[in-house]
Amino acid sequence: MASEHIPVMTVEELNRFLETDFPEIHTDGKVVEVTAVGPGSVSMRLAPSEKHLRPGGTVSGPTMFALADVAAYCTVLAHIGPVALAVTTNLNINFLRKPQPAPLSCDCRLLKLGKRLAVIEASISAGTEGDLVAHATATYSIPPR
């Protein structure tokens, strides 16, 4: 069960890891940040810039996909430590409704954390009501330690 997984990295450690080992995430400015870490879970926030929007006044699909992927990555790292070579092997996303060009939250939870694979669920929400705008599942490969 996900609640059995105790995090080994803090919010501050994950944000610092992203800045030092994955600086590409901030090429559009510091628009993403880890906001919470808990047993089997991580939350991130994305404050979209103009580069993240598409015609029609919405946050682009690729931006939401990237948020789900980075949040899932941080969920894995939060529970195994700073293993930079953990990689996405699969990510499926369903776009549920059109988000306004405003901050998005991504809440992830571990569904499975094994020696070689981790499976994560990511829920992306928007607005003050927290309307679900996308849902994803991701599988990560964990290198041998």
Residue 27 region by backbone torsions, left for phi larger than 0, else alpha for psi between -120 and 50, else beta: alpha
Q: Which residues contact 66 (CB under 8 A, 6 or more apart)?
A: none
Task: Give the mean model confidence (pLDDT) for residues 88-108.
Answer: 96
Straight-line distance from the first to the last Cα atom of the chain, in angstroms, rounded to the nearest whole number: 23
Q: Is the distance from CB of 68 to CB of 124 less than 8 angstroms?
A: yes
pLDDT in tens, 36-89: 999 999 999 999 998 999 988 899 999 999 999 999 999 999 999 998 899 999
Residue 3 — very low, low, confident or very high, per pLDDT cuts 50/70/90?
Answer: low
Residue 25 — very low, low, confident or very high, per pLDDT cuts 50/70/90?
Answer: confident
Q: What kind and span of H or E run contains 17?
A: helix 11-21
Give CA–CA dist 126/58, Å, rounded: 11
- Domain ranges (residues) in the chain: 2-141
Which runs of consecutive H residues, i.e. helices, occur in 46-119?
61-80
Q: Which residue has the higher pLDDT, 128 or 130?
A: 130
Alpha-carbon dihedral sign for residues 74, 130, 121, 134: negative
Please determine, for residue 4, whether its predicted confidence score (pLDDT) is greater than 60: yes
Please give the CATH superfamily to which domain 2-141 belongs: Hotdog Thioesterase (3.10.129.10)
Please determine, for residue 29, whether its predicted confidence score (pLDDT) is greater than 70: yes
Please determine, for residue 139, whether its predicted confidence score (pLDDT) is greater than 90: yes
Which is nearest to 98 in space by CA: 58, 142, 141? Answer: 58
What pTM was computed for the model?
Answer: 0.94
Residue 2 — very low, low, confident or very high, per pLDDT cuts 50/70/90?
Answer: very low
